[in-house]
Amino acid sequence: MSGEALKPVPTPYLLFEARREEQFITGSEAVREAVRRANVDMAIAYPITPQSESMHLVGDLYAEGYLRDYFRGENEFAVMSQVAGAAMAGVRVFTATCGPGTLRAFENFPLWAGTRLPVVMAFMTRGVNAPLTIQPDTIEMGMLLDTGILMLHAENAQDLYDMLLGAFSVAERTTVHLPLGVFVDGFFVTHTRQKVRVVAEDVKLEPYDPAASPVPTVDMETPPVRYMRDPFVMKSNYVSYAAHASWQQEILAAAERARPYLREVVGPFVEQENPDAPIQVVASGTAVAQAREAARMAREEGLEVGLVKIKVLRPAPREEIRRALARAEKIVIPEFNRTGWLAREVASMIPANDRIVAGPRVYGGMTMPPEVILDALRGTRLAGV
């Protein structure tokens, strides 16, 4: 079976109607399964733990005929630049990185957003130096919040699979046309086996259409013939200062426009259990799984706790968070990082944000046992803050 034999179908069919089968696979294998169906033209790889396996498997897909080009670049900044060139020329291109690799590539993220490149990529988050750890940590996500890229956070391999497949139709909309990062905690998801329901029909996403790009594709086939992507916009007068600012506004606007399309593919940006509980625990990524268990344990003790799972970080889920936490008296926000970026995000979205307990936090690769969250819910102890 190769990509040629798959039938292109609209994204809603692929995501919601196509027959699925259950596989017991790792997060890395879930990336492979998503890319298998994603009608990706090119993928470019560079090793860094724990995303390497995902890109090995994408390479295997290339060898099997599911991608038309694949190669290993020389470092992450080079890879993201190669991705930029490919996307500018009008193909669907995929890559992944994490941690130090994200930082190495970083200048390209605001570039991708600013030049409206609809790149879908995966981040298998891990700690950044110094000192070095290959273990899971979401610190890089806080650093990416203002780059202009769209950001989804997967709790598990099922989320990862579905978010990746849904991402292309959002990123590639003419009115959006922005990079979209699907984030997942390294090792916790990438290297553990989970039940994942994957599409079992011989179908794939429809191909990318360069004619839908809101800026000219770089191919000498799209007008105007005199076209620099992108020209300097910085003459020393009011007129051109407005041009650069207007451009930046357009990137923000494009992210706003993604909301209805994101809702179509991932559903509500925020999912809530037990919305009436006075204590709400708010989390994203694997922390949701730990928080869900802690909430269950809390309820057994007679403590009423609700769970808020955030799936979309950018565009910011302001309304959804405000509604979900409107009646909360105490808001606990466990995170796998030192910085507490998620707590800062939530604090910026709600009134009376002194209701927030910005923790517990573990970092550098530590696991977060549900007991640690339970301590915070009870108010007896707050780890890592």
Interacting residue ranges for other proteins, rule: CB under 8 A: 41-42, 44, 68-69, 71, 73-75, 77-79, 81-91, 93, 107-108, 111, 116, 173-175, 177, 210, 212-216, 218-233, 235, 239-240, 242-243, 245-247, 249-250, 252-254, 256-257, 319
Nearest distance from C-beta of residue 226 to other proteins, angstroms: 4
Structure tokens at 357: 């307990």
CA dist 236 and 342 (Å) reads 38
The residues near 263 (Cβ < 8 Å, ≥ 6 apart) are: 269
Minimum distance, C-beta of residue 204 to other proteins, in the bound complex (Å) = 16
Task: Residue 337: name the closest of 119, 145, 104, 53 by CA.
Answer: 145
**Backbone φ and ψ of 28, nearest 5°:** -60, -40
How near is the Cβ of 2 to other proteins at its closest, in Å?
15
Provide, rounded to whole angstroms, the least separation between the CB of residue 106 and other proteins. 11
Separation between Cα atoms, residue 155 and residue 220, nearest integer Å: 42
In angstroms, give the least distance from the CB of 125 to other proteins. Answer: 24
CA nearest neighbour of 184 among 302, 31, 60:
31
Residue (of 148, 184, 138, 188) closest to 341 by Cα position: 138
The C-alpha atoms of residue 159 and residue 184 are separated, in whole angstroms, by: 9
Q: Which is nearer to other proteins, 114 or 369 (CB)?
A: 114
State which residue, 257 or 355, has the beta carbon closest to other proteins: 257
- Residue 240 or residue 367: which is nearer to other proteins going by CB? 240
Task: Report the alpha-carbon distance of residue 145 to residue 166 in Å, rounded.
Answer: 20
Nearer of residues 42 and 298 to other proteins, judged by Cβ = 42
Q: How many CB atoms lie within 10 A of CB 141?
A: 26
Choice between 136 and 179, CB closer to other proteins: 179
- How many CB atoms are closer than 10 A to CB 322? 14
Q: For other proteins, give the closer residue by CB, 202 or 250.
A: 250
Distance separating alpha carbons of residues 98 and 183, to the nearest angstrom: 9
- Of 13 and 227, which CB lies nearer to other proteins in the complex structure? 227
Cβ neighbours, 10 Å, residue 184: 34
Q: Which of 101, 64, 99, 96 is nearest to 83 (CA)?
A: 96
- Which of 92/309 has CB closer to other proteins? 92
Tell me the two tokens of residue 292: 């869900």
Q: What residue type is 72 in one-letter code?
A: R
The nearest distance, CB 49 to other proteins, in angstroms, is: 22
Residue among 225 and 380 whose Cβ is closer to other proteins: 225
Residue 300 beta carbon to other proteins: minimum distance, rounded to whole angstroms: 40
Q: How far is the CB of 327 from other proteins (least distance, A)?
A: 21
SS3 call for 21 = strand
Residue 79 or 362: which CB sits closer to other proteins?
Answer: 79
Residue 206 DSSP one-character state: P
Residue 179 CB, shortest distance to other proteins, in Å, is 14
To the nearest whole angstrom, how small is the minimum distance from the Cβ of residue 253 to other proteins? 4
- Cβ count within 10 A of residue 290: 24
- The CA dihedral of 132, 134, 135, 138, to the nearest 10 degrees, is 80
- Can the peptide bond before residue 209 be classed as cis, meaning omega within 30 degrees of 0? no
